[in-house]
Structure formats: structure tokens, C-alpha cells
Amino acid sequence: MNNLKYQQAVEKAAQLAYSYESKYYACSQTVLAALMEAFGIAELNVLRAATTFAGGVARRGTACGSLAGGLIMIGYLCGREDLEMIEQYQRGMKYADQLCIKFEENYGTVICREIQNIKFGRSFDLLKVEEREKLHAVMQANPDGCQAVARDAARWTAEIMIEILQEGPPLARMLARHQG
């Protein structure tokens, strides 16, 4: 991908995440689905694995689900396949840290209920159906709500994905070092 295509993928991911979160209310999956579509990744098992991270992990308001969706994508792209792959583990954590720092710089936190307080002036108990419905109603009235967080998470993750893709797979780097 050239720079223009990368930038288009970043913007597509951001727009799709915003749209999907506005419609489906499952931040971990909406961010991940947007990234997958924007970058042409068809891996339904990864999308399925993100299901329970929505609403601050199992609707408990802890780690932001949009952040989790981005972290899952980062892990998919550069996570390890074997516990002994220490370099791969460190690489994945380096990129994960970059995404967490973006959240902290922009929202002051990575915690779902704290981000809700920032966006809506209160948090919602997402374990309760009536509270989820209230959140969804507030989101529809506030275009800068969770859908904007999903958009930001998708954009920041897409930018990190580009860095990962430009760096290349670690196996290729290791082979180049041994051959050179």
C-alpha cells in the first residue's frame, strides 16, 4: 500500500467505526470490524473473539471496548503464536502501549465508565437493560459520544497498523539479519 492508500484506509476505518457504533452498539466489535474492512482482513474468528469486550469488558465499564477492539487487531497483526516467541510478544506490547497512550492523552483514561463520564456527564451500568437503552438514546442525541470514541480508536489503531505493516513481519526481519 502506498501512503495515499494507507491514509484512505485510516479514514475509512474511522468512518466505518463511527457508523457501526452508532448502529450496533458493540464498541469492541465495531472498531475491529471497521479495521478489518478498511484493510481487507477477512477473519471472522477474530471478530467473534471481540464480542465480550464491549461495554468496558463484558459490560462492566472497565477497559474501554473500543480500545480492546484496537488491541485485538494489534495482537492479530503482530502477536505471538507460541509462548516462546519473546521478541514477538515485546513487539506486540510496544504497539499496544502506543494505543493506550493515545487514549490516555486524549481522554485521560482507558476506563469505559470514566470515558462515559467525560462524554455524557455520567456513567451507565451496562449490565442493566434500561441503562443500556438510556446510553443508546444519549448516544443518538450526542454525536460526540461512544461512536466518536470508536472512530478515534479505529483511526489510532489504523495508524499503528500502518507502522506494523511497514516494519514488516518479524520473521522477515530476523531472516534479513541472518542473511546480511
User: 3-57: per-residue pLDDT in tens?
Assistant: 888 999 999 999 999 999 999 999 999 999 999 999 999 889 999 999 999 999 9
Task: Tell me which residue of 38, 34, 104 sits closest to 70, measured CA to CA.
Answer: 34
Query: Is the predicted pLDDT of residue 172 greater than 70, yes or no?
Result: no
Q: Mean pLDDT, to the nearest integer, of 135-144?
A: 95
Task: Tell me which residue of 134, 105, 133, 104 sits closest to 121, measured CA to CA.
Answer: 134
Domains in the chain: how many in total? 1
Q: Which domain holds residue 174?
A: 3-179
Q: Which amino acid is at 35?
A: L
For residue 127, give the 3-state DSSP assignment.
coil
Q: CA–CA separation, 49 vs 135, rounded Å?
A: 24
Residues in CB range of 1: below 8 A, 6 or more apart: 9, 162, 165
